[in-house]
Amino acid sequence: MTDSGKRSTSGVTYTPAADGYFEKRSLKRSAGVWGLWGLAVAAVISGDFSGWNFGIDFAGFGGMVIAFAILVVMYYGLIFSIGEMAAAMPHTGGAYSFARSAMGPWGGLITGLAETIEYVATTAVIVYFSAQYADFITSELLGFSFEGNMWIWWLILYAVFIALNAAGAAISFKFAIIVSIISIGILLVFSAMAAFSGLWTVDNLFNIPPDEGQSAFLPHGVVPILFALPFAMWFFLGIEALPLAAEESHNPSRDIPRAGLWARATLIATGLLILVLNTGVLGAEATGVSLEPLLDGFRAIVGDELAAVLALFALVGLLASLQGIMFAYGRNMYSLSRAGYYPKFFSLTGKRQTPWVALIVGAVIGFVALLVLEVLAAVNEGAGAVAGAIILNIAVWGAVLAYFLQMVSFVILRRKFPNAARPYVSPWGVPGAVIAAVISALIFVGFLLNEAFQPAIIGIIIVYAVILAGFALYGRRQLVLSPEEEYALSGGLHRDPQAEGYDAMEKDVFEKK
The pLDDT, as a whole number, for residue 513 is 45
Question: What CA–CA distance (Å, rounded) separates 344 from 482?
Answer: 11
Indicate the burial class of 221 (C-beta count within 10 angstroms; 0-12, 13-18, 19 or more). middle
Residues pairing with 479 in the sheet: 14
Indicate the burial class of 147 (C-beta count within 10 angstroms; 0-12, 13-18, 19 or more). exposed
Q: Is the separation of the CB atoms in 56 and 229 below 8 Å?
A: no
CA dihedral 386, 391, 394, 398 (to 10 degrees): -160
Q: What angle do CA 506, 511, 513 make, to 5 degrees?
A: 130
Greatest Cα pair distance, the chain, in angstroms, is: 79
Instruction: Quote the percentage of the chain above a pLDDT of 90.
Output: 68
- Residue 225's alpha-carbon distances to 72, 84, 228, 265, 446, in angstroms, are 15, 30, 5, 23, 9
Question: What CA–CA distance (Å, rounded) separates 182 from 180?
Answer: 5
The more confidently predicted of residues 93 and 454 is: 93
State CA 39 to chain mean position distance.
11
Question: What CA–CA distance (Å, rounded) separates 350 from 241?
Answer: 23
Looking from the CA of 349 toward its CB, the CA atoms found within 13 Å total 19
pTM of the model: 0.92
pLDDT digits (tens, 9 = 90+) for 278-314: 999 999 999 999 988 998 999 899 887 777 788 888 8
Residues pairing with 14 in the sheet: 7, 479
pLDDT digits (tens, 9 = 90+) for 174-206: 999 999 999 999 999 999 999 999 999 999 999
pLDDT digits (tens, 9 = 90+) for 483-495: 999 999 888 888 7
- Residues 114-141, buried b or exposed e (16+ Cβ, 10 A)? bbbbbbbbbbbbbbbbbbbbbbbbeeee
Residues pairing with 9 in the sheet: 12
pLDDT digits (tens, 9 = 90+) for 410-442: 999 999 998 889 999 999 999 999 999 999 998
Following DSSP, what letter does each residue of 393-443 receive, concatenated? HHHHHHHHHHHHHHHHHHHHHHHHSTTS--SS--TTHHHHHHHHHHHHHHH
Q: Is the pLDDT of residue 238 over 80?
A: yes
Q: Is the pLDDT of residue 144 over 80?
A: yes
Q: Is the pLDDT of residue 5 over 70?
A: no
Q: Is the pLDDT of residue 148 over 90?
A: no
Question: What CA–CA distance (Å, rounded) separates 437 from 425?
Answer: 18
Q: Is the separation of the CB atoms in 408 and 110 below 8 Å?
A: no
* 131-140 CB contacts, 8 Å cutoff, 24+ apart: 131/157, 133/292, 133/311, 133/312, 133/314, 133/315, 133/318, 134/315, 136/307, 136/308, 136/311, 137/308, 137/311, 137/312, 137/315, 140/307, 140/308, 140/311
Looking from the CA of 85 toward its CB, the CA atoms found within 13 Å total 38
Question: Span 333-358, mean pLDDT?
Answer: 95
Dihedral sign of CA atoms 415, 418, 424, 426 in order: positive
* 505-511 CB contacts, 8 Å cutoff, 24+ apart: 505/481, 506/16, 506/17, 506/481, 509/1, 509/7, 509/14, 509/481, 510/1, 510/5, 510/7, 510/16
φ/ψ of 23, rounded to 5, equals: -65, -30
Give the domain 7-510 fold: Amino acid/polyamine transporter I (1.20.1740)
Q: Is the separation of the CB atoms in 293 and 286 below 8 Å?
A: no
- Residue 142's alpha-carbon distances to 127, 270, 296, 312, in angstroms, are 21, 32, 22, 13
Where along the chain do its domains lie?
7-510
